Structure 1
Amino acid sequence: MMINNRFAGKVIGAWCLMQLLTAGSNPVSANTVTDRVAIDSLNPNELLIGIFYGPLKSITTEAQFRDIKAAHVDYIQYIGDADRPGQEGIQRNREILDLSHRAGLYYYPSDKRVRGTAAEVVAMVNDYKDHPATAGFVIQDEPGPEALDWPADTYKKILALAPGKVPYVNLLPDWAVPNYEKGYVEKWVEKAGPENLQYLSFDNYPLRADGSFGGTYFNNLEIIRRAGLKYGVKTSCYLQSMGILGAYRRPTVAELRYSAYSALSYGIKNAVWFTYCTPVNQPVEKFTSAIIDSTGLKTDLYEPFQQLNKDLKQLGVTLIKLDATEVYHSGSQEGTGILRLPENFFLQPQDTTQDLIVSHMVNRDNGKDYVMVVNKSFTKTAAVNFRISKPAKKILQVAVTGKMQPTDYKRKKGSFSASFLPGEGKLFLLE
C-alpha cells in the first residue's frame, strides 16, 4: 500500500520531513564533556539496538536518557529539533552527545552540512568525530534509485574522515522501487563499495491500520538477506513501534515481539525501533503514542519493549556470528517472497499447518548448525512438535539468558518440542 505522503516510507522521507519540527521550550542545559575518555565506537561484533526519534528539546532530561539506556538500547539515531542549520544545530547535537555519553548511549548527529560542500562535510565531521558518544553520521534516508551517487560518495568521504564511525544511509522499501534487488539494492552496495558498507539498511512497516499485514515485508527481508550474504555486509532494518492514523496500527506486545524475531530470523544484525518518542507537529501524519508519549511519559509498551530488548541483546551474543542461509515458512503463505518449507528440509513441524518461520543458520566460524523458529501468530501460543532428520547428538536452546539449555530431544525418534508465545522466536543449536 503506497501512502501518499513523505513520512510513509520511513514513512517515506522522514529525514526531510522531520526537519519541519519546531523546537520545544525550557531546554535542559548539558555541560560539555571535558573529561574526554579515549575515543570509543559502537562494537560491530554485537547485535546492536537503536531508536529513531529520541526526546525533543521540551523533554530533554538526563532521566529520559537514562530510561533509554535502561531499555537496553545502544544508540539514538534521530532527534528532530537537532537537525537545524548553523551554530544552533551544532550546539544541540553536542548537548545530545553529552547527555548520551553520561547515560552510556551513542548518538548519530544529524547536521545539514552533510549536503554541503566538501569543506562543510569536513567541518561537520570534525565537530563531532572526537566525541566519545558519536556513533556515526546520518547521510540520507531513502534515496531514490537514480540518486545514489551523492550518498555513496559522501559515505566514503565520511568513512575516510572518521574511521570507526558509521555513515548511515537507509534504503526505500521494495514496494516503492521497481527492479528493487538488482536495480536498487545491489546498485547501492556496489556504488558505496561492499568493503566500505557498515550496514545494508532498509525499512518496510507491515502493521497496517486496517488490520492487515504488509504483503511485501518478507520479500524485502529476503532480498536484503541475499544481498548481505552475497556481498558480505551486515544487514539492518527498522522495526515498527508506532502507529499513524489511517496508515499503520500501533503494535501490541506480541507484534513488537514478532517485528523483532521475524527480522532476526532473516539475519538482521542491527535493529532500529521506529519510533521511540511520539512525533508531534507533523504536517500530515498523526502518530499514536509510541514507547514514550509526546510529553515524555512511558506508555504501556515501555516495559515489554525493555524486556524484549534485553532478550534480544542476550540472543545477539550468538546471533551476531550466524548467517541465515535459508529461511522458510510453514502454514499460510500470504505475501510475496515467502519460500515454503521444503518437504525434505531437515527440521519439520509435525503439524505443517502451523504458521512458523524456520530459519537455518550457520556459525561462520565453526560451521555449526542452528535453527531459529518464529511463531507467526499475534494471538495464539504455539506448542510445536518437531521432527528432525539431520543426525544430532543433542539439541540445545539458546536461552534469552544467554545460556544453553537442554530440550526434550529424543535422539532415537528424532523429535523434540517447544512452546512459543505469540510472535516469539527461539534459537536452537544442533550438536
Structure 2
Amino acid sequence: MSSRSKKGSVLLYVIMIFCLMTILGLGLITLTNHNTKMTKIEMDSEQVYQSALSGLETTLVSFEKDPETGAKITEFIRSGGGTTSTELNIDKMGKINIAITCASGEEVSSCKKLKVDSTATLNGLSRTVTGYLNVIEGGLEFPVTVKQGDDDIDDRYRKVQQPGDKEYCLFGTSPTQVGTECFKEKASTYEDKFSQYEKEPNLEKYNKKLDEFQLMAKGQKCNFEATIDSSCVVEGSGNTVTGKNVVIDNSKSDVVIDFKNIVGVMSSNFTLTDPDSEYLVIFISNKPIVFFDTSFGNDIKDADNFVIIGSKNTNFLFQGMDKNVNGYGWIISPFQDEDPWGALDTKKGQVSLRGQNNKTANLYGGAYASIVSQVNAANIYGVKPSDKMLGLFADLDLEMSGGGAMTFAKTYDK
C-alpha cells in the first residue's frame, strides 16, 4: 500500500475520532445544562413550597394572636363578601397570595370553619398549601369550675334551662327538684367565673371525630413498659390496667390512647415528655371507665395537653381511694341519659369525682358533661383551655359561652 493511502486512512480516523469526541462533549454539556436546570427547578420548587407553608403558618397564627381582626374578616365573609385575599412580594421568596374563604360544606352566613389557601409563586413555579381555622363563637373565658362539697354529700350538678339562660345547678333528691345554688353563685381556687355549655353536640359529627381517633390508634398495641410515642390501643375486654407508670412522648404529634373495652385504670400514672408542646394526649373510651388512684399530668400546664373523651354510652369516675390523685386536663361526656337521675356513676353523660378514706380527687382543667358530681374531698379547678384544645372542642361540636371575643384555632383537617 502506498504511503499516500496510509496517510489518507489515518486522516479519516482522526476526523472520525474528532467528530466522536465533539458529539460526546456536546452531550456532556447538554446533560450538565439539563442537570443544572433540574437542580434549579428542584431548589425553586422546595423554596416555593416553603414560602407557601410559611405564608399559611403566619396567617393561621395571626388569627389566633389577633382574634379581633380575625373576627372582622370572618364577618366580611359571612356577609357575602366571598373571598378575602392579600398578596406579599418578598425578595428571594417570591409572591405569596393568601386567600381566605368559608370551608366547603359550611353555611356561609354562619360559617364556623375558614379555609386558608397560601399560594407562592417563584420563577414561574407555583405551589398552594391549605389549612383551616375553627371559628369559636364567644370564645371561652372560663371553664366549668366546682368547689369542694361537704363530706359524705353527693354534690350533683346538671344542665338545666333557667329563665333566659342555660346553666349547671345543684339538684335535690330528684331531677325535678332544682336547687337554688348554681355555678354563678359558686367560687373556686383558680377561677371565680364559669362558662355554660350550650347544647349536646351533633352525634354524627361527634362520632366522626371519634372514628378518626380510633383509626389513628388502630393496629398498634400500647406497650406501657416503654415510652409511648405514637397512637395505640389498649387490648382486652372487660380488663383493667393496673400499676403502670406511663410516659407519653407528645413532642412530635398528637397521641391517641384507645382504652376500647377496658373498664378500669388502677394505681397508674400518665406523664408527658413535653408539657410545653402544642400536641395533645387523647384518651378515648367506648364504655364506662373508672380511674382509681390514677393521675394524669404533673403540673397545671399539663391541662393544655390531656383530654379524656367518651362515646354516647360512657361515663367517667375519677377517684382517690388509697392515695390522693390529680388529673390535669379535660373530661368530656356530653350526652345526657334519657333518665338523668339515678345511682351515682351509672348514668351516661356523667363525670363523677370522689374522695374516699380521707383521700382527695382533683381535676385541674374542666368537665364537659351532662352531669357533674362530687363526693367527699373532690374538686374541679377551672383552667382556661389552650387554642389547640378549643379547636378540638369545635371539631367535636361542643359549644360554649361565658365571655371572651370570637377566637380561632388552627387545624389541618377539613
TM-score under structure 2 length normalisation: 0.25
TM-score under structure 1 length normalisation: 0.24
Structure whose CA Rg is larger:
2
Say which structure, 1 or 2, has more relative contact order (CA 8 Å, 6+ apart). 2
